Structure 1
């Protein structure tokens, strides 16, 4: 088997979660961090297909868990965006770099807050030192994303309370100088408005 064939077979085994095959290819000296045309590594392919036994094996084997594909996904950020709590926990335990950003310039808690992934937001706030006030390329903090990019419902209210409890700055404005409180009022989210007022927002 040529080096190229070995890599292709290794990446395919990762996509399918075939741990025995992965072990065989690693024993043959395959590059653990080889990538496909989308710059996806084996551990990212395993993660994207929910093959967590394969993810665990590749972590143990020494794969670089932080390498990002052409859309900025790595296992941790993929998990944060898609609500994969088990995957996020695995990556946090493996000391993933929580400062790496998505293609929109947000850290993992940014899309998790936006999309209403309460459990993942809780995990990140309580087990990592992720920047709760990180500003993405749109000029939005996780708090602002949680307000303006979802439905204002109970999950969003819970996330906003958690963010505030863990240091989210209710006075940090968007790139136009608009406050979180004003944004909540513009959306008509009265429950969120009340949460912000109780936290001292103006």
Structure 2
């Protein structure tokens, strides 16, 4: 039994080493990392695997999204790369584009089958971190695409709540809250402590946002 266990361990280690080598040597991943659009296009023409994975599970398209390489992302998406493929920490090109405000890439993912219901490692939609980080135009795109305004993540927060509790109440977040109000978000969904968005805004001295919520009928 001990011999078999050792044999399995050696086999697993061997497969891991092979996987590391294959991921490290993948020409498409390397071309994307190096920002070589011509090489990416050439490899696409050769029929390489568009959804190959790096060591952390990232696809070529996810790497391009992280680096905001719009034309490389366009080439990959037009060729059929999966906009919903997640890496080991549950980022996908669509989710990362939304969270990072990569609007050109986000629009491409939305036009090529982005799963609006997909969630990140915190259980949040693309809209929730976009609201938190103050990406006003990104929020507008995601609202128009139809992302659930009242989805609650694992922290117990909606996009409206994150635009308050993880922000400073400044102009960008005021615009985002106004967008969510106009789009019909539930203004009274409480957090896990039972506090409403209005109460959270008041507690944080975010007077402009508190006024927006009161004027819209929040309690």
Matches within 5 A, 1:4-153: 4=22, 8-126=26-144, 128-153=145-170
> Which of 147, 171, 181 is the aligned partner of 1:164?
181
5+ residue gaps, structure 1:
none
TM-score if structure 1 supplies the norm length? 0.92
Which of 1 and 2 has greater Rg? Answer: 2
Task: Report the alpha carbon displacement of residue 20 of structure 1 after superposing the two structures with TM.
Answer: 2.6
Provide the aligned C-alpha RMSD in A: 1.8
The verdict on how the C-alpha distance between 1:171 and 1:5 changes in structure 2, with shifts beyond 3 A counting, is closer
TM-score if structure 2 supplies the norm length? 0.85
Task: Report the alpha carbon displacement of residue 6 of structure 1 after superposing the two structures with TM.
Answer: 9.5
5+ residue gaps, structure 2:
1-20
The verdict on how the C-alpha distance between 1:5 and 1:23 changes in structure 2, with shifts beyond 3 A counting, is farther
CA deviation vs aligned residue, 1:68-93 (integer Å, no higher than 9, x gap): 11122112221222222212122112
| Alpha-carbon separation, structure 2, partners of 1:5 and 1:37 | 6
| Alpha-carbon separation, structure 2, partners of 1:5 and 1:148 | 40
Work out the number of aligned pairs and report it. 199
Report which stretch shifted further, 16-25 or 61-70.
16-25
Q: Which residue of 1 aligns with 2:16?
A: none
